[in-house]
Amino acid sequence: MINPSIITKFNEILGQEFVLTQKEDMLTYSYDAAVLDARMPSAVVIPQSSEEIGEIVNICHENRLPLTVRGSGTNLSGGTIPEGNGVVMSTGRLNKIIEINEADMYAVVQPGVITAKLAAAVEAKGLFYPPDPGSQAVSTLGGNVAENAGGLRGLKYGVTKDYVMGLRFFDAMGNYVKTGSRTVKCATGYNVTGLMVGSEGTLGVLDEITLKLIPAPRAKKSMVAVYDTIEQASETVAAIIAARIVPATLEILDNFTIRAVEDFSKAGLPIDAASLLLIEVDGHPAVVEEEGEKVETLCKKLGATTINVARTDAERDKIWAARRSALSALAKLKPTLVLEDATVPRSKIPDMVKALQKIAEKYKIDIGTFGHAGDGNLHPTILTDKRDTEEFHRVEAAIEEIFDDALAMGGTLSGEHGTGLAKAPFLEKEAGYSSILFSRRLRAALDPDNILNPGKITGVQEQLKSA
Ligand X SMILES: Cc1cc2nc3c(=O)[nH]c(=O)nc-3n(C[C@H](O)[C@H](O)[C@H](O)COP(=O)(O)OP(=O)(O)OC[C@H]3O[C@@H](n4cnc5c(N)ncnc54)[C@H](O)[C@@H]3O)c2cc1C
Q: Which residues contact 65 (CB under 8 A, 6 or more apart)?
A: 2, 6, 42, 59, 85, 86, 87, 451
Interface with ligand X includes 144 (CB under 6 A)? Answer: yes
Stretch that binds ligand X, among 146-154, 295-303, 359-367, 387-395 (CB under 6 A): 146-154
Q: What share of the chain is helix, strand, coil (3-state, %, to 5)?
A: 40, 20, 40
* Cβ atoms 235, 144 nearer than 8 A: no
> What is d(CA 195, CA 330) in angstroms, rounded to the nearest whole number?
34
151 binds ligand X per the rule CB under 6 A? yes
x/- track of binding to ligand X for residues 392-431 (CB under 6 A)? ------------------------xx--------------
Is position 210 an interface residue for ligand X (rule: CB under 6 A)? no
Neighbours of 408 (CB within 10 A): 12
Give the chain's end-to-end CA distance (angstroms, integer).
Answer: 31
Query: Does the footprint of ligand X cover residue 78 (CB under 6 A)?
Result: no
The binder of ligand X chosen from 47, 66, 82, 201 (CB under 6 A): 201
Q: Which of 69, 260, 382, 409 binds ligand X (CB under 6 A)?
A: 69
Between residue 15 and residue 44, which ones bind ligand X under the rule CB under 6 A? 32-33
Closest to ligand X by CB, 153 vs 318, is: 153
- Number of Cβ atoms within 10 Å of the Cβ of 62: 13
For ligand X, which residue of 74, 222, 381, 414 counts as binding (CB under 6 A)?
Answer: 74
CA nearest to 430, candidates 399, 462, 408, 397: 408
Q: CA 258, 36, 204, 116 torsion: positive or negative?
A: positive
Closest of 219, 361, 371, 355 to residue 290, by C-alpha? 219
Binding status of residue 205 toward ligand X by CB under 6 A: yes
Q: How many residues bind to ligand X according to rule CB under 6 A?
A: 37
Cβ-proximal residues to 316 (8 Å cutoff; 6+ apart), any chain: 220, 222, 280, 310
Out of 46, 453, 454, 455, the residue judged to bind ligand X by CB under 6 A: 453
Of residues 54, 66, 130, 143, which one binds ligand X by CB under 6 A?
A: 143
* CA separation for the pair 467, 463 (Å, rounded): 6
How many degrees, rounded to 5, is the angle at CA 261 between CA 257 and CA 264? 145
Is there binding between residue 368 and ligand X (CB under 6 A)?
A: no
Give the nearer residue to ligand X in terms of CB position, either 263 or 293: 263
Q: What is the DSSP string of 201-260?
A: TSS-EEEEEEEE-EEPPSEEEEEEEEES-HHHHHHHHHHHHHTT---SEEEEEEHHHHHH
Q: Is 200 in the site for ligand X (CB under 6 A)?
A: yes
* Using rule CB under 6 A, residue 457 touches ligand X: no
Cβ of residue 86: shortest distance to ligand X, in angstroms? 11
Which of 327, 342, 356, 436 touches ligand X (CB under 6 A)?
A: 327
List 41, 142, 247, 455, residue binding ligand X (CB under 6 A): 142
- Tell me which residues in 122-141 interact with ligand X (CB under 6 A): 133-135, 139-140
Compute the residue count for the chain: 467
CB of 364 to ligand X, least distance (A): 26
Q: How far is the CB of 138 from ligand X (least distance, A)?
A: 7
Under the binding rule (CB under 6 A), the answer on residue 458 touching ligand X is no
**Span from 63-71, 97-105, 274-282, 426-434 in contact with ligand X (CB under 6 A):** 63-71
Question: Does the protein bind ligand X through residue 75 (CB under 6 A)?
Answer: yes
Q: Say if residue 281 is exposed, middle or buried (CB neighbours under 10 Å; 0-12, 13-18, 19+).
A: buried
Residue from 54, 111, 380, 459 touching ligand X (CB under 6 A): that is: 111
Instruction: Tell me which stretch binds ligand X (CB under 6 A): 118-126, 148-156, 224-232, 233-241.
Output: 148-156
* CA atoms of 388 and 391, how far apart (whole Å): 6
Amino acid, res. 150: G
Residue number with CB closer to ligand X (292 or 415): 415
C-alpha–C-alpha distance, residues 22 and 335, integer Å = 27
206 sits near ligand X (criterion: CB under 6 A): yes
- Residues lying near ligand X in the complex (CB under 6 A) are found at 32-33, 68-76, 79-80, 91, 111, 133-135, 139-140, 142-144, 146-147, 149-151, 200-201, 205-206, 327, 416-417, 453, 456
